Structure 1
Amino acid sequence: MKHLTFSTLAASLLLAAAHIPAHAVDGASLEFGTGNSTQFARGSLQWNFQRAIYESDRIAIKGYWDLSLAQWRGNRYQNRPGEHQNLTEIGITPMFRIQQPGSKFYGEAGIGAHLLSELYDNNNRKLSTALEFGSQLGIGYNISPRADVGLSIQHYSNGGIKHPNSGVNFVSLKVSYSFP
């Protein structure tokens, strides 16, 4: 029943996003990450903030909302080699990007809410709640006016709401495309 409820929620969010007019979605990304004997694949849709947070001739701070759906695969479920744990994650994160005008390089950071389909228990790391907070810190490069590639470190934790709360860390590679 728990998986059915989570699947229903995930499907509802995806259908809602699919019914948003195409011009409302500003971008999409595909991301792959690894850490703690766990790998993930994530797809995201982005909506830019209405205006920049700060802009000058030397620096710009802009932002976007990132709605994501990911599949995690742990390779040491309950710390047993060869045992797997597959779970699904839905997240919403406000991301902040800092970049010098004219530069192709940028920095990015964000903290968001993520819902896991089941409790994470892999490689001697446990998360005791389905609601997790995910923080990201990354760097990137604009490979064209509409596309960029980025590398980030990510940390998931429930912020001490309930124990155990070992936290999980990932390194990821993301490719993004901005719609015209």
Structure 2
Amino acid sequence: MFRTLVLVLCLSSPQWAYAVAEELTEEDTETWGWRTALFSSLFLSLAMNPLGADEYNASIMMSEDEDVGAVKFGFKWHKDDLSFDLFGAEVTHYYLLGYSYWQSLDIDGQEGVVNAVEFVPVFRFNWSYSNWLSYLETSVGLSVLSRSGINDKRFSTNFQFTDSLSFGGYITPKSSWSLQLQHFSNNSIKLPNNGINFYNFNYAYRY
């Protein structure tokens, strides 16, 4: 967000732009460049749907200790033929393939970055397909982290399990939202196993 604001101000005020450019280090410029390329490529991938997904997902994430912020982009494949009724709710099933970018709020730059890829089967309990509050979800899946720790948390392994609980509803017939508690840990495969919890706001849209 800050870099976007800088770009807008640079275009509107050449003198101010020159002053900012002098203060930016070579590392700042490099970081701005690769992050712009990364996120623009992710947005284009969601728009073009190269994997033939049924739905895309975008998330804003904050760690429980409020020391790590993250964004997530993902694809969902729905398996509606596996649905069944349970206590008046229709249970459906989908797969999520997601990529998330974690940034430490205590450590600037690339030293505080973790990249994560996850594959998660998700079960959804629907009691409505039109209300703002319409479903509950639960999941357990697998993830791989680019680093085995962030800030003072040590996960010991790059491989992590991830599980979650969430509730949400439908904005339109094609779009939905949810609030989610997501946990990452290695299930004590190797110690220390500190793990990390995120509170996520998710937005999804059906292609």
Structure 1 pair 38/54, CA: closer, same or farther in 2 (3 Å)? Answer: same
Counterpart amino acid of 2:199? V
SS at match of 1:51: helix
Q: 2:80, 2:92 within 8 Å by CA — same for their partners in 1?
A: no
Q: Which residue of 2 aligns with 1:26?
A: 54
1:139 aligns with 2:195: no
CA root-mean-square deviation: 2.3
Aligned to 1:150: 178
Deviates more, 1:141-150 or 1:95-104: 95-104
> Among the aligned pairs, what percent are the same residue?
22
Distance 1:102 1:29 in 2: 18
Aligned counterparts of 2:87 and 2:164: Cα–Cα separation in 1: 27
Partner of residue 90, structure 1:
117
The answer for the alignment partner of 1:170 in structure 2 is 198
How far, CA to CA, are the matches of 1:56 and 1:76 in structure 2? 45
TM-score computed with the length of structure 1 as normaliser = 0.79
Instruction: State how far apart, in whole Å, the 2-side matches of 1:89 and 1:172 are.
Output: 15
5 Å-filtered alignment, 1:1-180, equals 19-20=50-51, 24-35=52-63, 36=65, 37-55=67-85, 58-76=88-106, 85-102=112-129, 104=131, 105-122=134-151, 124-179=152-207
Paired with 1:121 and 1:46, the residues of 2 have a C-alpha distance of 28
User: Residue 32 of structure 1: SS of its match in structure 2?
Assistant: strand
Aligned length: 157
Letter in structure 1 aligned against 2:55: G
Whether the 8 Å CA contact 2:57–2:75 is kept in 1: the answer is: yes
Alpha-carbon displacement from aligned partner over 1:144-179 (angstroms, at most 9, x marks no partner): 100001100011000001111111011010000012
Per-residue CA distance 1:40-78 (angstroms, 9 max, x = gap): 10000000125133137921000100000110011235x
Return structure 1 stretches of 4+ with deviation > 2 angstroms. 17-20, 55-58, 101-104
Equivalent-residue separation in structure 2 for 1:164 and 1:58 (angstroms): 42
Q: Which has the higher strand share?
A: 1
TM-score by length of 2: 0.69
Larger Rg: 2
CA distance 1:101–1:75, change in 2 (3 Å) = closer
Whether the aligned pair in 2 keeps the contact of 1:57 and 1:101 (CA below 8 Å) is: no
Partner residue, 2:26:
none
CA distance in 1, matches of 2:198, 2:97: 18
Q: 1:178 to 1:18 in 2, by over 3 A?
A: closer
